[in-house]
A = this chain, B = another copy of it.
Amino acid sequence: MSEWFNDTGMQNDIVISTRVRLARNLKGIPFPHKAGEENCRKVVALVEEALSALNYKFTKVDLSQLTQTQRQALVEERYISLNMAECKRPGAVFISEDKTVSIMVNEEDHLRMQSIFAGYESQKAYDIISKVDSYLAEKLEYAVHPKYGYLTSCLTNAGTGMRTSYMLHLPAIVNAGIAENLFAAAGKLGITVRGMYGEGTKAGGYLFQISNQITMGRSEEEIMTNLSKVAENIIAKERELRTKMHKQKGVVMEDQIMRSLGVLRSARLMQSKELLTLLSNIRLGISLGLITELDSKTLNSLMIETSPAHVTNENITTAMERDIERARIIREKLVKG
């Protein structure tokens, strides 16, 4: 019943989270950006009705009822995309009661359904989103082309409509100066590497999202296998380089890691950017066994709970007030009474 970021998962020394999403559209209705308000509302209603009969409870979140900060908070928790937060069309997001599935309606496609888990959990995420998809396929008439597969607003998503992505923490790969080459090589295998909040965002705190670029002409299984192979190579490389980096830098690295923890526990002002760097050092410290009193679960929830929109409340109007509040949240979480 808890959010993905309050959980842990496999290979959590490197893999922050796994997300599988499917793009689907309804037959006979134009894609959202051309559909017009009435059609958009109709799609929301159709999805809501289909889900209401499902033995797996979803809560409808009407984005038009939310403030910009509340939408941003959903982006930070990764239940909706940045596009969805800024979308003016009638739309909604349906979030399952166990918080593992979210369905955006009228983002780029009529349905963008995703399942997200902490750690390296593609099978788990795929299984659950497939079940939801199969169920909805019975209730709704999807737009499918006999040869090309599922039709989507943007051609790059057509075919399986599936995109699987891992959020990876890769400080040693970046530090070794091989990130660019490695990501270029992955690109040749049909794998994209992006910043932490998806397309067009920058990598902060050594966090990268790697995902499949190709969705057409291959089966879902082939896509998953291909991505997993590349991801596992990157993960193995990162692990190898961490050990090597620790051997080479020794106490200099330990000093940097332990100071990061000391600063987090004592700072009275904390900006997002510095926080990402400090959290990166602490993740590294946990994975090297230098820090034993914290785990990836605590860091995942801290990362989300200290994101800009999460820190903002009605009493906070300036950037400095936000930095004070962020530092307070961190201390509350990391300093034991």
Contacts and interface: CB of A to CB of B under 8 A. Distances in A.
B268 A265 contact: no
Nearest to A264: B262
Contacts of A324: 251
A252 B269 contact: yes
Listed residue (A269, A324, A327) with the most chain B CB atoms within 10 angstroms of its CB: A269
Interface string A239-252: 00000000000011
A263 interface: yes
Contacts of A140: none
14 contacts: A251-B268, A254-B268, A255-B267, A255-B269, A255-B327, A258-B268, A259-B262, A259-B263, A259-B267, A261-B266, A262-B264, A262-B266, A263-B266, A265-B266
A295 to B, nearest CB: 18
A291 to B, nearest CB: 10
A109 B258 CA distance: 49
Nearest to A335: B262
Nearest to A260: B266
Contacts of A266: 258-259, 261-263, 265
Interface residues of A, number: 18
Interface string A202-217: 0000000000000000
A325 to B, nearest CB: 11
A228 B320 CA distance: 43
A316 to B, nearest CB: 14
A6 B264 CA distance: 31
Given A262-B264, A262-B265, 8 more contacts: A252-B269, A255-B267, A255-B327, A258-B267, A259-B268, A262-B263, A262-B267, A263-B266
Nearest to A261: B266
Interface in A302-326: 320, 324
Contacts of A267: 255, 258-259, 262
Contacts of A261: 266
Nearest to A257: B268
Nearest to A266: B262
A-B pairs with the 5 shortest C-beta distances? A262-B266, A262-B262, A255-B268, A255-B269, A258-B266
Contact of A320 (B251, B258, B263, B320): B251
A14 to B, nearest CB: 24
- Give the interface centre of A251, A266, A267, A320 by most chain B CB atoms within 10 Å: A266
Interface in A272-326: 320, 324
Interface in A24-82: none
Q: Which of A263, A268, A324 has the most CB of B within 10 A?
A: A268
